Structure 1
């Protein structure tokens, strides 16, 4: 064999071996970074930037229904805020989605006991006729029961699904089953010929305020009117139904999809010192539902992650990697901002070394979980240890997508870190007129900022990666 062939083969073998060794080498965080994170944690516990952001966004803009006039106002407000805080880069990326509008909504029982009902249209709902519709109610206690019903029992009627009332739980586990009924129920009822769809609000409160939220119609042309009753009104309707007499409701919803709208993700970055093209991905969603001012859902998330990144940007020495904050567009109607980001960046997703989004309110973070490559578990252990003084437990057996919008980014290959908040109070106000600034506890908010600042900084300083790569976590079952 010629000498140059031998040398070439040896070089390729050595390079391959070196690459394999690098791939299998553990990812760890240097001790000086751990010490700096401890100081950063204490600084965050005395920082009020996050509260100021929530106060400003909810006061100067208010509700931020995707596609509304306030959608653009919120984007302009956020761009200005990022620049005022001194982020190194600020830009936008377009996000297109159907524009749904809400104008008015009302309902009343007309037979057998006339009385008004408190409800709210679901995002994606169609309008009733101009004068409303009046028809009999057919009730089911579950989506499965409705699916099993013969079509003639549903056709032309208002379907009501009386899902169990949510319980106030720290992990919010009751929300998933209820929200799946809200998302899927109207389309399934429409397929059976229903005139409209009602359900009990997906919320843990006893207030006479209805919880809105999205529903999904594969073909918007086949959408029917769909709304959620407040919990007390759902209780009242169920009591009347138990009397065994036919119940008729008059429903009037003025809402619906009006073409498409192009909004944008607003993105800002603190540039890293040694590996600026790699970044920790974080943020929250900028849109909100319109009954309240979107303080906990999700001005809080945008504020927490922005304030944490701002603290890192003020350090005398920047971390190795960049910190990228995204104020995502239209999460509420179906993760449009997250999917748009994933589509635009999926081929270079390895640059997003780890991601964590805040979208669970403003109360304390209780637990951290992660989905990373096995060799990066040591670094996650170190991050968890740095979070422990904040009262945050670590569950190494559970995965983490990184959060709502980041679940779409995780699906194309981003390693995920999930910081789970206490949702005991969150679902009392979620998607209601009660989602307002007074629900934000400044002390608990600062604990969130500290947790995100520590996590961002340590991941940005890690020696080695966390496994982000196109398709890296495609087969993982999300446990966020």
Structure 2
């Protein structure tokens, strides 16, 4: 017979529906927490993630989706997973339009003639345009321009991106890149220029994909290096200025790349997986070290270190090197479509695609019944200087299409204070990575994945109703 107080509470729980939730509360066994602490220290002392990233950025280099570098990256990833001893290694096809960059240049014409450093935006057509430049302080100003008011002219949006640890300044600048060209076309412009979506002060322009709204004829579109945007703005303050922009680039049919997947088999529930990963492709200007060689390297290393344990976690660890994230999340969308029937077998997922800075915060989509396990993961991450910030953030880019279908996600937030100094530029190279910061990332991902795979209970992955 239960004491009166306990019986009363239990009765209340029955009527409130909480008993079912209590019975299915997700917890992580004490032994797994002990193993995770040991795994954390092993990962911190390892340079494996750094060496994998070095291998990718050195042996393959730039990996523009659809390029010869893309094909070599796929072969590299398959070989690297096998070399690291992953139990299963396979590829899954991802088909998308192929965009090529061949050459680009720009010059100020007339009395103040001089070259400008720029780069074509991904998706831009080829073409040479020459015209008077009209400056706009932001996207809203360009979108307010009257139809036909820019006939024969070149629109220039001079919006300055703000630096932030969480990268929040990228949102407004990203819209300048994605929506600006279409706004310029509606106003009649012959070409489009923007201040690069970046926080640096180097003559390294930042590329990135753009879009053209349906029904519009695309125009040559490019990003100026930040100092060159400043220079053009100063020239325009002196009076009218004409610029010539010459781009040789464009779409060239379809291409099929691959998502490359490596798996460490779980000990008790091998058909259930914890997914971690990054994207294998990069832009062509640098060697794709922070975007996203580091993400691929650190998650491969985390999976390998978990695989080295004497006692594997209950579930499998799946590491995915996604294809063509840069031009539209093509790899992530393909993975979500293919694995939708198995969504419920995906315990939890996290993607590293924000550089190689130290992780400073952890959050997830854990429902109420998994809050205790979520807190246990946060507890194991705390010695790495990682704060638990429940209710914040969202899924990484490539797992977001699957998260929209109901996949449970976690976010290990990296310090991106200087990420947009390098993002999509020639300066995105291996020398920018701090080995100790990368080891901290490996430790965090290894602990996270191991504990999520060891949990007794789930983290809420379930198909959403349409």
User: What's the TM-score, normalizing by structure 2?
Assistant: 0.94
Change (3 A) 1:20 1:261: farther
How far did 1:369 drift? 1.3
Structure 2 residue aligned with 1:143 = 139
Match 2:417 to one of 424, 431, 443? 424
How far did 1:112 drift? 4.5
Partner Cα distance (1:219, 1:71) in 2 = 28
How far did 1:19 drift? 13
- Does residue 1:250 correspond to 2:244, yes or no? yes
Match 1:370 to one of 350, 364, 376? 364
Structure 1 residue aligned with 2:12 = none
Cα RMSD between the aligned structures? 1.7
Contact 2:65–2:323 at 8 Å: present in 1 too?
Answer: yes
How far did 1:164 drift? 1.8
- Does residue 1:470 correspond to 2:466, yes or no? no
Structure 2 residue aligned with 1:461 = 454
Partner secondary structure for residue 416 of structure 2? coil
Structure 2 residue aligned with 1:155 = 151
Structure 1 residue aligned with 2:194 = 199
Partner Cα distance (1:305, 1:274) in 2 = 22
- Does residue 1:279 correspond to 2:273, yes or no? yes
Structure 2 residue aligned with 1:5 = none
Contact 1:371–1:399 at 8 Å: present in 2 too?
Answer: no
Partner Cα distance (1:470, 1:157) in 2 = 50
Partner Cα distance (1:220, 1:31) in 2 = 60
1:162-241 aligned at under 5 Å gives the runs 162-167=158-163, 169-219=164-214, 222-241=217-236
How far did 1:21 drift? 2.8
Aligned length: 450
Moved more, 189-198 or 425-434: 189-198
Partner Cα distance (1:211, 1:345) in 2 = 34
Partner Cα distance (1:288, 1:161) in 2 = 25
- Does residue 1:45 correspond to 2:41, yes or no? no
Partner Cα distance (1:340, 1:193) in 2 = 37
CA-to-partner distance for each residue in 1:83-132, whole Å, 9 max, x for gaps?
0111011111111111000000000110351111000111111111xxx2
Partner secondary structure for residue 28 of structure 1? coil
CA-to-partner distance for each residue in 1:183-236, whole Å, 9 max, x for gaps?
111122223322111100111111111011111124498221111001100001
Partner Cα distance (1:342, 1:93) in 2 = 12
Change (3 A) 1:449 1:122: same
Partner Cα distance (2:63, 2:18) in 1 = 48
Structure 2 residue aligned with 1:390 = 384
Partner Cα distance (2:102, 2:421) in 1 = 24
Contact 1:283–1:328 at 8 Å: present in 2 too?
Answer: yes
- Does residue 1:448 correspond to 2:448, yes or no? no
Contact 2:129–2:220 at 8 Å: present in 1 too?
Answer: no
Partner Cα distance (2:162, 2:183) in 1 = 22
Partner Cα distance (1:165, 1:273) in 2 = 48
How far did 1:171 drift? 1.3
CA-to-partner distance for each residue in 1:10-51, whole Å, 9 max, x for gaps?
xxxxxxxx9983786211101100000000000000111111
Structure 1 residue aligned with 2:375 = 381
CA-to-partner distance for each residue in 1:237-262, whole Å, 9 max, x for gaps?
1111112x221100000000011111
Change (3 A) 1:227 1:393: same
Partner Cα distance (1:228, 1:284) in 2 = 26
Partner Cα distance (1:220, 1:69) in 2 = 32
Structure 2 residue aligned with 1:331 = 325
Structure 2 residue aligned with 1:15 = none
Change (3 A) 1:220 1:319: farther
Note the residue ranges of structure 1 that are not aligned, 5 or more in a row: 1-17, 475-480
- Does residue 1:434 correspond to 2:433, yes or no? no
Contact 2:153–2:190 at 8 Å: present in 1 too?
Answer: yes
Partner Cα distance (1:208, 1:284) in 2 = 28
Note the residue ranges of structure 2 that are not aligned, 5 or more in a row: 1-16
Contact 2:302–2:442 at 8 Å: present in 1 too?
Answer: yes
Contact 2:145–2:187 at 8 Å: present in 1 too?
Answer: no
CA-to-partner distance for each residue in 1:347-403, whole Å, 9 max, x for gaps?
2211111000001111100111111222111111110010000000111132432x1
How far did 1:54 drift? 1.0
Contact 1:166–1:202 at 8 Å: present in 2 too?
Answer: no
Structure 2 residue aligned with 1:114 = 113
